[in-house]
Amino acid sequence: MPSIDVYNIEGKKVSTVDLKEEVFGIEPNETVVHSVLVNYLANQRQGTQSTKTRAEVRGGGKKPWRQKGTGRARQGSIRAPQWIKGGIALGPKPRDYRYRVNKKEKQLAIRSILSSKVAEQDLVVVDKFNLKEIKTKTMADAMKNLKVEDKALIVLSLEDKNARLSARNLEGVRTTSVDTINVFDLLKYKKLVLTVDTVKRLEEVYA
């Protein structure tokens, strides 16, 4: 069972916490992580791209010249795809890109990334963010003390409202909750910051 040091927001070690092997100590499955990431990105697509077909382009109702005798190729409309300002042949139309992956695959992907964070020493555990007021500087100082000033994903409980609002203007820092954590954010941000409460919550959900 892996264990990790716990720090306060001043950057001082206060204790250690044991991590469940089945959540933070498995062999990462890169294939599943890739599959779930592709699914997440596909589900984010709006699918609103659209081009006009020859039936939707304005004009072109009259045949440009007679069928025979001109020496030129026969044409039925100046809005056919081969014409400038003509319709688009086989262009994109609004569609839904969403598809589903197995729930167990999603959980395995999350566990794989969490285990990678532990192995690569990119996981930081804080005892709690007990901010008495909403202040960006306080959160910035905490990130500096924890040595996660670059890209960092902070997983907070719903009660940590002050911490969430204090971090929203910090460049390269994003806050989320256990219920909304996803593969994309875990991969995008190098450092993962958890509180002791969110560690226990993750173990409850993904064990």
Domain made up of 3-45+99-206: CATH architecture:
3-Layer(aba) Sandwich (3.40)
- Is the pLDDT confidence value at 3 over 80? yes
pLDDT given for residue 95 in this prediction: 95
Mean pLDDT of 70-79: 95
Using the 8-state DSSP alphabet, how is residue 178 labeled? G
Whole-angstrom distance, CA of residue 194 vs CA of residue 162 = 16
First to last CA, the chain: 13
Using one digit for the tens of pLDDT, what is the confidence trace for 88-97?
Answer: 999 999 999 9
What would the mean pLDDT of 176-196 be, rounded to a whole number? 94
> Any idea which of 61-75, 114-128, 148-162 has the lowest mean pLDDT?
148-162
Mean pLDDT of the chain: 93
With a cut of 90, say whether residue 183 has pLDDT above it.
yes
* Interval 127-162: pLDDT, tens: 988 888 999 999 999 999 999 877 899 999 888 899
pLDDT of residue 205: 92
| Residue 160 confidence (pLDDT) | 86
Cβ neighbours, 10 Å, residue 62: 9
Taking alpha carbons only, the member of 13, 206, 8 closest to residue 114 is 206
Q: Are strands 191-195 and 123-126 parallel, antiparallel or unpaired?
A: parallel
Query: For the chain, which residues make up each domain, given as ranges?
Result: 3-45+99-206, 47-96
Length of the chain: 207
Alpha helices in 54-95 (DSSP H): none
Q: Which structure tokens are listed for 117?
A: 């964070």
What's the pTM? 0.84
pLDDT tier, 207 (very low <50, low <70, confident <90, very high otherwise): confident
Phi, psi of 124 (to 5 degrees): -120, 130
- Rounded to whole angstroms, the Cα distance separating 126 from 146 reads 9
pLDDT at residue number 115: 96
Q: What does the pLDDT read at residue 105?
A: 96
